[in-house]
């Protein structure tokens, strides 16, 4: 179906390779071009249903605060997700606040089935970032710098997408050079397109790779494309990045992924080493499987949303999100239930209210049991399930004069607001941010 050129290993310590002598660089590269492919191939036995031509491509769960928590990652890994990022970790808070650190990390690392894993951090102080990353280095396959968050909390904190523009990019380049020199796992950067355009973006990305970045994840939007102005991800820009730097480091594409048909189209069009999904896969973790695609007539042949909700709650009981699982306890659980069961909750509003008031696992299970009873009463057919929460903004636009679009058209285009990096998730449960003033920490 497509050609591939990656490589990797169970621990990124095994990914070291010879320095790349084809490019004049300011640092000696610790990790060769194929480190990611080796990592994926080494873990391929965990995905027996993965299409053979995708074994060497990364199918990635994005870093999302109170969303890419440990129990959720373990659930997604059951359905071909081959690489996960932790939620964004605030480096200084991770160092200074024991409560925050307890929430975000287990003393001996994550369980072995939660690999490969990349820990994402935010911050703008290279020494603070290094100290925080060193605390998890032995338990992850890489570390990542968040340069994608477009929200105001990131602007106030001087991190996320705004860090790319600080000092004409000099600050982030210096941070990458410092981390790449001292870290023993690959250092990657998740970026957006600069507001000034593609040419400036490509120049900065090249500087990041020259400084030692071992991988780039390109969100094909600018920081100005946010919320109601999100628009479609620009795969043309991502393809330009691959053409410029893809022979030196792996490039992941972020944006515009709603099912496996989109995955294949994106990989073929951009030439990227993998795709990253956030919002669509949040609603339906089996996104990276052959379900709700053209060859199934867009019917759901994978597990139904109710089963997904049950499986997630079972994992939460085994790995509580607020005990090293990177989630804010029941706030995290409620948000996931809202996304999984969004289509049901739009019809059964009293049950939706019960989700908002679910402050215990028992209450969460009560919600799921009520939904099961309602589905059985209404002869619910799993095959007819479609994404609901993911396309909520398109549906709103249609109701307010944008014109109703049929489902086939929805499949062909990106949603109005999608894959917003979720550095600060916001939904019916309120903002969920790594804010230093958040009382949870």
Catalytic residue IDs? 149
Residue 192 corresponds to which tokens in the numbers above? 């957006």
Residue burial 35-50, b: 16+ Cβ < 10 Å; e: rest: bbbbbbbbbbeebeeb
Pairing of strands 89-90, 117-122: parallel
Integer-rounded Cα radius of gyration of the chain: 21
Torsion of CA 92, 93, 95, 96, to 10 degrees: 110
Phi then psi for residue 431, to 5 deg, are -70, 140
Whether the bond between 116 and the residue before it is cis, its omega within 30 degrees of 0, is yes
Residue 198 corresponds to which tokens in the numbers above? 């593609």
Q: What value, to the nearest 5°, has the Cα angle with vertex 145 and ends 143 and 146?
A: 130
Torsion of CA 259, 426, 361, 370, to 10 degrees: -60
- 262: enclosing H helix or E strand: helix 260-270
Q: Choose among 149, 218, 139, 136: nearest CA to 179.
A: 136
Q: What value, to the nearest 5°, has the Cα angle with vertex 280 and ends 388 and 204?
A: 140
What's the Cα-to-Cα distance from 76 to each of 67, 99, 103, 286, rounded to whole Å? 12, 27, 21, 6
Query: What is the three-class DSSP state of 17?
Result: coil
DSSP assignment of 302-345: S--HHHHHHHHHHHHHHS-TTTTSSS-HHHHHHHHHHHHTHHHH
Phi then psi for residue 110, to 5 deg, are -75, 165
């Amino acid at each position: 179906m497509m050609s591939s050129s990656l490589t990797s290993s169970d621990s990124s310590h095994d990914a070291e390779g010879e320095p790349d002598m084809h490019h004049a660089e300011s640092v000696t590269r610790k990790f060769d071009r194929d480190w990611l492919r080796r990592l994926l191939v080494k873990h391929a036995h965990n995905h027996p249903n993965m299409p053979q031509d995708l074994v060497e491509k990364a199918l990635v769960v994005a870093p999302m605060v109170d969303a890419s928590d440990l129990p959720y990652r373990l659930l997604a890994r059951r359905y071909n997700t081959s690489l996960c990022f932790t939620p964004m970790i605030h480096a200084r808070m991770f160092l200074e606040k024991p409560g925050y650190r307890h929430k975000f990390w287990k003393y001996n690392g994550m369980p072995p089935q939660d690999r490969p894993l990349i820990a994402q951090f935010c911050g703008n102080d290279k020494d603070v970032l290094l100290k925080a990353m060193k605390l998890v280095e032995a338990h992850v396959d890489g570390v990542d710098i968040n340069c994608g968050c477009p929200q105001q909390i990131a602007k106030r904190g001087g991190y996320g997408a705004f860090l790319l523009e600080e000092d004409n990019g000099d600050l982030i380049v210096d941070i990458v050079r410092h981390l790449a020199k001292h870290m023993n796992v690959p250092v990657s950067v998740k970026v957006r397109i600069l507001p000034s355009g593609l040419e400036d973006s490509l120049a900065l990305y090249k500087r990041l790779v020259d400084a030692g970045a071992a991988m780039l994840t390109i969100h094909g939007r600018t920081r100005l494309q946010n919320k109601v102005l999100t628009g479609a991800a620009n795969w043309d820009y991502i393809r330009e990045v691959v053409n410029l730097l893809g022979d030196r480091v792996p490039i992941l594409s972020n944006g515009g992924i709603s099912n496996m048909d989109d995955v294949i189209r994106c990989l073929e069009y951009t030439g990227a080493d993998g795709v990253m999904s956030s919002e669509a896969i949040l609603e339906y973790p089996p996104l990276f499987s052959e379900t709700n695609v053209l060859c199934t007539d867009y019917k759901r042949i994978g597990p139904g949303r109710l089963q997904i909700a049950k499986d997630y709650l079972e994992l939460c009981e085994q790995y509580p999100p607020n005990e090293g699982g990177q989630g804010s306890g029941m706030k995290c659980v409620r948000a996931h239930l809202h996304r999984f069961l969004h289509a049901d909750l739009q019809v059964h509003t009293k049950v939706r209210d019960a989700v908002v008031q679910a402050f215990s696992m028992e209450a969460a299970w009560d919600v799921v049991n009520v939904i099961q009873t309602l589905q059985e009463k209404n002869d619910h057919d799993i095959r007819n399930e479609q994404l609901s929460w993911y396309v909520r903004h398109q549906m709103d636009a249609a109701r307010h004069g944008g014109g109703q679009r049929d489902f086939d058209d929805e499949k062909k285009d990106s949603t109005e607001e999608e894959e917003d990096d979720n550095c600060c998730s916001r939904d019916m449960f309120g903002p969920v941010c790594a804010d230093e003033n958040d009382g949870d920490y």
